[in-house]
Amino acid sequence: MMTNMYRVAVKIDQQRSIVIFVMYSTYHMYAFHNAKQEALASLKKAIGKGVDIGIDDLELPPNPAMGDIAFPCFVLAKKQKANPVEIARELAAKIGPTDLIEKTVATGPYVNFVLNDITFTKAVLGEVAEMGEKYGNGTVGEGVKVLIEGAQPNTHKEFHVGHIRNAVYPVAVQRVLKASGYEVVFAAYIGDIGAHVAKALWGLDKFHKDEEFAKEDRAKKLGEIYTEATTYAEEHEEAKEEIAQVQRHLEAQEEPWHSKWQETREWSMDAFREIFKELNVEPDVWYFESEVEEPGKKLVQKMLTDGIATKSQGATVVDLEAEDLSVFLVLKSDGSSLYATKDLPLAFKKDEKYDADRYLYVVDVRQSFYFQQLFATLKRLGFKKQLTHLSYDMVNLPEGTMSSRKGNIVTYAYLRDHMREYLEGETRARHEDWSDKQVVQTAAVLQHAAMTFMMLRQDPQSIITFDIKEAMSFDGFTGPYILYTIARIMRVQEKASSKGEINIDLLNHPLEQQLIRRLSEYPDVVARAASSYNVAPVAAWAFETAKLFSEYYHQVQIIGDDLDGMATRVGMAQAVAHVLTLAMDLLGIDVLKEM
């Protein structure tokens, strides 16, 4: 789990360095926001009354050499019927320095504000030290409760690469929402009934009735049997009716099928619990399709009685043509349930217990139309809360798409073991003196970081082609690269002398100022991730910051004879490591002190 690395890691006269940083924190959070407020106040005073501008009218210059905050004068020029270049020049001439802003210059039609390096650095490092693990947190979500549903594997199938995204994406969204002040409940929803279960149990009875499976192989074997049964049914028409009959027996809870379902369901659940633990996925509540099947059938019957649903060729449907959503099938003609049969009552079940303001559903993009139909039907049933489908695209391998039905999947277990074997070898080669336990533990953290970061670094709407070698690289846009940067800073700190005095005035190298500005951007990155339910910007920020620190590490001597300079640079580096650790924690990724 994440630790407060900044406070724990500081060994250069720990108390003094932290106290000095806190003394420099003279501005309420956050420094960059405060700088923009100062720029805005100066602009309003220079422009005068009659023109309403806000903080959203400020931009980041495309080139840092131009300044740190920019105000485009186009709209103002249009209102005043004047040349924007001339307006920018006039405004810049009227605006003087402030606490955080050193100067204001005109660049074409823009008024650019340049931060005061010393004052701004003191403010940023002071906030990082003073706020600790809460740095980057916000309050925009206070008073709002969100329930996010994700982590929805089906029992009787193997947990594969595609399921990883479905599990780690909602966890990261949960964390950024909490960091922004929301109260968040994370619900897992397990598909433990349905046609796939009937297929697996039918195949188990037909092809493997008297076989005994080792405990550690049971979940894997169920997935193989499901594929075997699917393939057989495609080639033998009579098998389809036999499987359908098994499903009816299961829905009626008839023996011996009900007992066999209970037993094999636990085979899958044992595996899921272990996988979730490895992925740092910790649901607050577990829901199961089997819990809402019967309530769903009763609800469908009530929908018929109330005129919300009708019969069509024996099936029960909801006519959504008025919303351009076609016809929504909620119960099969033979009385068998569908996803909708169970999702409808589940929405009310969740709301009755948690009374959330928003309900998020993390399900792949192929179900987008289904969720439009589901939400429209819930609205007709009187459900008034905000409903949002957080869709994400497919996870493929370089070889192509996967399918449990066809059996051409890469399982989570295979991918995990393959990655760990490689990373154990790499770790052992770098640390021949390490014990096997230390090697194995380090490789496990690296494997999880590589896998999770690869799933979260891209926009959810983008298809992921999971390249195993790329994910495990220690150089590039990867989890191991960022963990390596943090570990490198920890090594620097261990080598440093504890005799120097911190002097922020010494942080005058251009790369040091770029790093300070990167740290100041982190709260905005977290806020944007929470508002968009997209954590990819957090991953991108972590990578760009790690890359910038690597450049700094190779260009600037951190450890040297200048004790005050060393203490100051190490203190700044520790702040970088601390905020990088916070970012990785938001993604659900642990870090390493040594690797």
Residue 401 is predicted with a pLDDT of 56
Residue 306 is predicted with a pLDDT of 97
Rounded Cα–Cα distance for residues 109 and 71 (Å): 9
Residue indicated by tokens 């469908």? 300
In what helix (H) or strand (E) does residue 170 lie, and over which residues does it extend?
helix 161-179
Fold match between domain 7-22+411-586 and domain 145-396: no
Q: What is the pLDDT along the chain (595 residues), one digit of tens a residue?
A: 333 332 323 333 333 333 334 333 333 479 999 999 999 999 999 999 888 899 999 999 988 889 999 999 999 999 999 999 999 999 999 999 999 999 999 999 999 999 999 999 999 999 999 999 999 999 999 999 999 999 999 999 999 998 999 999 999 999 999 999 999 999 999 999 999 999 999 999 999 998 999 999 999 999 999 999 999 999 999 999 999 999 999 988 999 999 999 999 999 999 999 999 999 999 999 999 999 999 999 999 999 999 999 999 999 999 999 999 999 999 999 888 999 999 999 999 999 999 999 999 999 999 999 999 999 999 999 999 999 999 999 998 777 554 544 445 789 999 999 999 999 999 999 999 999 999 999 999 999 999 999 999 999 999 999 899 999 999 999 999 999 999 999 999 999 877 889 999 999 999 999 999 999 999 999 999 999 999 999 999 999 999 999 999 999 999 998 999 999 999 999 999 999 999 999 999 999 999 8
Long-range contact list for 172-176, CB < 8 A, 24+ apart? Answer: 172/456, 172/535, 172/538, 172/586, 172/587, 172/588, 173/148, 173/360, 173/362, 173/390, 173/533, 173/535, 174/148, 175/585, 175/586, 175/587, 175/588, 176/526, 176/529, 176/530, 176/535, 176/538, 176/586
Residue 334 is predicted with a pLDDT of 87
Residue 576 is predicted with a pLDDT of 98
This prediction's pTM: 0.91
Residue 410 is predicted with a pLDDT of 86
Closest CA to 111 of 99, 123, 103, 119: 103
DSSP helix, strand, coil percent of the chain (3-state; round to 5): 60, 10, 30
Rounded Cα–Cα distance for residues 516 and 142 (Å): 28
Residue 2 is predicted with a pLDDT of 36
Residue indicated by tokens 């559903």? 361
Domain extent listing, the chain = 7-22+411-586, 31-134, 145-396
What CATH code is assigned to 7-22+411-586?
A: 1.10.730.10
Q: Pairing mode, if any, of strands 395-396 and 464-465?
A: parallel
Architecture category of domain 145-396 in CATH? 3-Layer(aba) Sandwich (3.40)
Paired strand residues for 110: 72, 107
Please tell me the CATH superfamily of domain 31-134, with its number.
Answer: Arginyl tRNA synthetase N-terminal domain (3.30.1360.70)
Rounded Cα–Cα distance for residues 588 and 449 (Å): 9
Paired strand residues for 386: 358
